[in-house]
Structure 1
Amino acid sequence: MARAFNAEVRHREFNPGDLVLRKVLHVTPDSRGKFSYKYDGPFIVKETFSGWAIILSDMDGIENALPVNVDAIKKYYP
């Protein structure tokens, strides 16, 4: 059973300095329904923690105070 579960899990590794997109988790009243944006960004990975949490910063260097889970971000390739 563990082998079947591990086959489905994608290993995601992020290093400081990587560009990532953050998933939009809230819907605003002025959203366009299914045509609204699914991801926000790009952001720069500032710091990674062992519990799958990441601190992000904007492209301008402004650091976000709250950590983000790894399952809510994906790599951005310009």
Structure 2
Amino acid sequence: MPPVWHDASPSITHQLVKAGLVWTKIRHAYMVDATVIGFTGTARHPKSLAVQLPDGRIALSQQLTTALASVVAPRLVP
């Protein structure tokens, strides 16, 4: 039986069904409030944000989408 690709819904990753087995890619994301303490790129075009997490650790965000960067940029101080 050849592999069959199908969409269960637009928000679910494609699943490969072959010989009764199903592979699914799952991502976990945890949202927390954090303080922005810096950024990469320029203040007009930030690429990602450096944030301080509630437990004191410092982390770098994922790359910002163009839409999100345009919302964040006016709030950044160069």
TM-score of the pair, normalised by structure 1:
0.33
Whose relative contact order is higher, 1 or 2, with alpha carbons under 8 Å and at least 6 apart? 1
Choose 1 or 2 for highest CA Rg: 2
